[in-house]
Amino acid sequence: MTTTFGHRFYITTSIPYVNAAPHIGHALEYVQTDAFARYHRLIGADTRFLAGTDENSLTNVLAAEREGVPVADLVDRNARAFLRLTEYLHIFNDDFIRTAAEPRHIEGARKLWAACDRAGDIYTRYYSGLYCVRCEQFYTEEEAPDGLCPEHHIPLELVEEENYFFRLSRYQDDLARAIDSGALRIIPETRRNEVRAFIARGLEDFSVSRSRTRARGWGIAVPGDPHQVMYVWFDALANYITALGYAHDDELYPRYWVENPNRVHVIGKGILRFHAVYWPAMLMSAGEPLPTTIVVHGYLTIGGEKMSKSLGNVVDAADLTARYGADAVRYWMLRQVPPTQDADYTDGKLERRYNADLANDLGNLLNRTVSMFRRYRAGVVPIPGQSDATDQDLEAVAAGLAGTIEEAMSRDDDPQVTLAAIWDLVVRANRYVEETVPWSLAKAERGGDATAAERLDTALYHLAEALRLIAPVPPALPARDGGAHRRADRLRAGDTFLARGAHLGPASTRNPGQRAAPDFPEDRGMTRDASYVIRHAYCVLRISPLSPGGRGAGCEGSA
């Protein structure tokens, strides 16, 4: 999903069923998508980020029946829980759509249905099939030879009725061409191959409605037929365009969909078929542009088992963020979890990664750097002298950082690689402190050694620059007040870290002579509060790449 400055970038999460409260599998998708959105804002792209909830599912109806509450009440309660989760995790989505509650979605879904109908792609047919109510999906006997849902491992139900169907078979060749040409990019390659194999086996038309009776009266009515409601996947997939005002051709729709070269969906592997086959075919039928990229992540597992509400092995996302904070949760998900593979979660794994990287590596670097600035230079970033081999080695590590981040986030869609590259610089900068021994240089300076004084200036300057370059960690970790998000939308290429490049040393854009820590709070423990540590890499040193010579992103209210 390569973008350049000035381009538009639209990214969405999938919309989860709201039959229960969210777990950390949902949090993973929010965090990954938010990291991509933050990055593209940072490089100057006109970015829009959508999340939401899938509310017209029979799964939700059955959950409400089990609880003995009205469906609308259960949906409202759980939709609020998903919305709160975005707040707990400091997810800066621009919009949140609810598919049962908002006229823009209901009207847009009906418009999409009508467009497909005009194309001759919707017809009625009697059918029977094996159905999983939790997936809201039909399976063939080949896909489920034991009669169990391959996703949820529960018995499939035999469903027989007359419904509306969509002519998916008509678009088999068009879908294959879109994927083969790269017009529809699916990441990773293994998922792309999975979709191509599914298409090559031959596509069958699929049901796009159910009887109002079987739906318990819940769902969006089929235009012109009050006895049928839309199949949940038809209406749910439409949210990606209904949220942009597709129903009434609002300004957001051409801006972020029709005229935008970057239309990105981030989804879990269990719903790949719907997003990479059904949804593009529906758009082809309606004469609308396809998504350009589908990024498919794996599952978070517990003891090797998929986390599932039905299995009862979920980790509550709200509870986790309450115990560890958003920074720790976000960082573990982006640093430890391969973005397109499964990963096993335990509290111990999160704690070890957080303490090793944030509390120890980054916290230690920032803590002693700021301490040395205060002790040896009264909080002022000094003007450096000539670089020696040790300085140049640190500069070399820093010089490759911008390119690595750009490739990882723009082309490979891999925040894990981004954080690994940043941490290479963190580790190298900590080793640089041991190699330059600033405390020994300060002692020699006090004895009148002018060469040691200049060398100390150079070492401190390099540490300040290293922290400046490490500061892009906030696309992965949140500034609590959202200031970074608001300002990033207004950034221009000349003001951004990646546009200027990562040049460490006297030739870089820098602010020597600025106070480093005039208001650094003496009583705050840095090494245990990652958000504080990272924000002060911008704020305390006053050398933010987002605002040369001034406060950086996330400084408001950071003390």
Closest CA to 197 of 168, 175, 182: 175
Residue type at position 262: N
Q: Check if 152 is active-site.
A: yes
User: Which CA distances in Å does 358 have to 404, 470, 478, 529?
Assistant: 21, 12, 14, 8
Calculate the CA dihedral of residues 331, 335, 339, 344 and round it to 10 degrees: -90
Show the tokens assigned to 546. 């987002």
Give yes or no for a contact between 229 and 210, defined as CB atoms under 8 angstroms apart: yes
Neighbouring-strand partners of residue 13? 266
What is the distance between the alpha carbons of residues 42 and 64, in angstroms, rounded to a whole number? 42
d(CA 423, CA 362): 8
Q: Which residue among the candidates 26, 265, 275, 536 is catalytic per the annotation?
A: 26
Q: Is 135 a catalytic residue?
A: yes
Render 322-391 in DSSP notation, one character per residue: HHH-HHHHHHHHHHTS-TTS-EE--HHHHHHHIIIIIIIIIHHHHHHHHHHHHHHHTTBPPPP----HHH
In angstroms, the Cα distances linking 248 to 104, 234, 245, 254, 468 are: 8, 19, 6, 11, 46
23 annotated active-site: yes
Active site residue 116: no
| DSSP state letters, 93-131 | -SEEEETTT-HHHHHHHHHHHHHHHHTT-EEEEEEEEEE
- Residue 187 pairs in a beta bridge with 295
- For the stretch 373-384, what's the b/e string if a residue is b when 16 or more beta carbons lie within 10 angstroms of its beta carbon? bbebbebbbbeb
Q: Which of 491, 325, 471 is nearest to 405 (CA)?
A: 471
Query: CA 266 → CA 18, 187, 555, distances in Å?
Result: 18, 10, 30
**Nearest residue to 48 via CA among 389, 485, 549, 537:** 485
**Looking at 105, 152, 265, 297, which residue is catalytic?**
152
Closest CA to 398 of 476, 460, 329, 471: 471
Which pair of tokens denotes residue 28? 């993973």
- Report the C-alpha gap between 315 and 320 in whole angstroms: 7
99 vs 232: CA distance, rounded Å:
10
Task: Compute the chain's Rg from CA coordinates.
Answer: 26
Whether a cis peptide bond, with omega within 30° of 0, leads into 188 is yes
Whether 443 sits among the annotated catalytic residues: the reply is no
Contact (Cβ atoms closer than 8 angstroms) between residue 340 and residue 187: yes
Q: Which of 111, 116, 149, 275 is catalytic?
A: 149
User: Would you call 349 a catalytic residue per the annotation?
Assistant: no
Catalytic residue of the set 105, 111, 116, 135:
135
What CA–CA distance (Å, rounded) separates 316 from 311? Answer: 14
Which of 40, 90, 111, 132 does the annotation list as catalytic? 132
555 labelled catalytic: no
Residue 289, both tokens: 């542009």
Catalytic: which of 306, 462, 485, 536? 306
Query: Is residue 153 annotated as a catalytic residue, yes or no?
Result: no
Q: 90: buried, middle or exposed (CB in 10 Å: 19+, 13-18, 0-12)?
A: buried
- Please identify which of the residues 105, 111, 309, 536 carries the catalytic annotation: 309
Task: Give the active site residues.
Answer: 23, 26, 132, 135, 149, 152, 306, 309
